[in-house]
Amino acid sequence: MARGVKLDTTEIERARARLIGLVAETDVQDISPNLTLKLENNQHSGSFKARGAMNALLCSAVGPDGVLAASGGNHGAAVAWASQRLGYESNIFVPSIISSTKLKRLESYGANVHIAGSEYQETFEAAEEFGREHQCVEIHAYDQHEVIAGAGTLAMEVDRQLSEFSTVVVACGGGGLSGGLATWWGAKKRIVVVETKGTATFANSLAMGKLTDVEVSGVAADSLGARRLGHLGWNALRSVNAESSVVSDADVLAAQSALLHEFDVVAEPAAAAGYAAIRSGRLKITDGERCLLIVCGGNSE
């Protein structure tokens, strides 16, 4: 597959064809007249990451030492799941802040788990060193064509499930999911990227007009903890003039509790960030606006 700074919809269409029967078609759930949830918390491995991990592995020539990934947890679980499904050994590097739920998922898929560093960037560097000494195929958590194309299949799926909606609200770490959605829908949808104050890579990059590092912290750091947005996601989001909304950890925890107790939806903090923006009033949705909210993962404590 050709490499460049942008994806196109053809890559997503091809990914969809590869993934038929391998990833789940997750449900949508209306929780108000103008707000619908896309329940990727019910996807294989507990998050949308299964789509990109499986697509990337199906496109890869796997070496004798198997598969390698660095992750805050969800990508690693997805790569481990896809590797197990396809019969490959997996080496997954995770930071010390990984949740026990995500660690148990990794172990359940037979991964060789390496705990390295206290945040994603340190973990990624440790995985890179391992990769130089072993013959593995490395699957990047977000800045890889096949990974983003796999994530973009979620948008194709939604188009078959919902007849009308104008706004998409999605949490963002490295930009893999939001970049995939922006690639598929282009400027046809209002795309709102939600981050926490401790993980606001997109918001800070918008403010600076270029990709910018952030100091990672807070309740969603294990999922949204990339120090810098990926080039592919950044280019896709800027091309559609995606909007930014930043929420507090308190907003996220309140939204996570509300999703569980009011709608019986299990969401990890990152997956509750979008609802936190709406629920707190930081993101305004008009009465006539039909909104899709991506619940991107459910690997919660």
Domain boundary pick from 82, 104, 138: 138
Question: What is the pTM (predicted TM-score) of this model?
Answer: 0.93
Q: Which domain holds residue 110?
A: 51-138
Write the CB contacts of 272 (distance below 8 Å, at least 6 apart in sequence).
Answer: 252, 253, 255, 256, 259, 295
pLDDT of residue 2 exceeding 60: no
pLDDT tens for each residue of 184-202: 999 999 999 999 999 999 9
Query: Among 276, 267, 272, which Cα is nearest to 42's?
Result: 267
Query: Among 40, 6, 107, 115, which Cα is nearest to 70's?
Result: 115
* Span 31-47, average pLDDT: 96
Q: Is residue 287 part of a domain?
A: yes
pLDDT of residue 1 exceeding 60: no
pLDDT tens for each residue of 270-292: 999 999 999 999 998 888 899 99
* 20 DSSP assignment: T
Q: Is residue 2 part of a domain?
A: no
CA-CA distance, 22 to 25, in Å (whole number)? 10
pLDDT tens for each residue of 211-244: 999 999 999 988 887 889 999 999 999 999 999 9
Query: Token pair 């909007």 is at which residue?
Result: 243
pLDDT at 53: 97
CATH number of 173's domain: 3.40.50.1100
Q: DSSP strand E in 1-89: where?
A: 28-32, 35-39, 67-70
Domain boundary pick from 138, 154, 188: 138
pLDDT of residue 5 exceeding 80: no
Q: Are residues 125 and 149 in the same domain?
A: no
Q: How confident is the model at residue 4 (pLDDT cuts 50, 70, 90)?
A: low
CA-CA distance, 124 to 223, in Å (whole number)? 14
